[in-house]
Amino acid sequence: MRIIAGRHRGRRLLAPAGAATRPTADRVRQALFDMLWHAPWAGRGRVEGATVLDAFAGTGALGLEALSRGAAAASFLETDRAALAALRANIAACREEARCRVLAADATHPPRAAAACDLLFLDPPYREGLMAAALAGLGAAGWIAPGALVCAEYGAAPEAPPPGFALLAERAHGAAHLLVLRAEALA
């Protein structure tokens, strides 16, 4: 696993041993960032200068990819000890400590945000049904800015977008189903 493009292109990322962490595959990350970079509803300006949240961060590959491509800052939420160690090592290897904030926190019950984010990545364990709870918790804690883009990775695409979000794009890549949502109205 490596950073695909930008300032840290080619940087290898560590992943903890075992099946507890399921990093987003390089090809899926490439497809997601291509979508963000070139879509009429997004574009480079939605990544460059963005304040990013990587929830269920694991190795931090999504947030670090965004930083490599010009995002201003990234926060990472993760609870697994081994994943936190790999995440911190990956941030250090990229020398991005100054632009990163790592919180050992549950994305479904996150701490209050210091600032709302305009680009969010959510990649929870597929079969645990955590996406709706995470979106609700993040919204209530102030992590999601109005109009923010939320890149959500599901094991199976939901029948409809979550309440308060508009579906902008959907793509399937093997077992991964990517949805790009725009925050419309949060409760």
* Residue 120: CATH number of its domain: 3.40.50.150
On the 0-12 / 13-18 / 19+ scale of CB atoms within 10 A, 82 is middle
The domain total for the chain is 1
In a domain, 83, yes or no: yes
What are 43's two structure tokens? 């574009």
Query: Strands 144-154 and 165-173: what pairing?
Result: unpaired
pLDDT in tens, 90-114: 999 999 999 999 999 999 999 999 9
- Measured between alpha carbons, how far is 109 from 92 in angstroms, rounded to an integer? 27
pLDDT for residue 187: 46
In a domain, 138, yes or no: yes
pLDDT for residue 180: 94
Backbone angles phi and psi of 109, in degrees to 5: -140, 65
Distance (Å) of CA 90 to CA 31, 97, 102, 134, 138: 22, 10, 12, 24, 24
pLDDT for residue 92: 97
Block mean pLDDT (10 aa), the chain, length 187: 89 78 74 90 91 95 96 96 95 96 96 96 83 93 96 82 90 86 77
Give the 3-state secondary structure of residue 90: helix
In a domain, 54, yes or no: yes
The parent domain of residue 151 ranges over: 39-183
Contacts of 80 (CB under 8 A, 6+ apart): 16, 20, 21, 58
In a domain, 20, yes or no: no
In a domain, 154, yes or no: yes
In a domain, 27, yes or no: no
In a domain, 26, yes or no: no
In a domain, 166, yes or no: yes
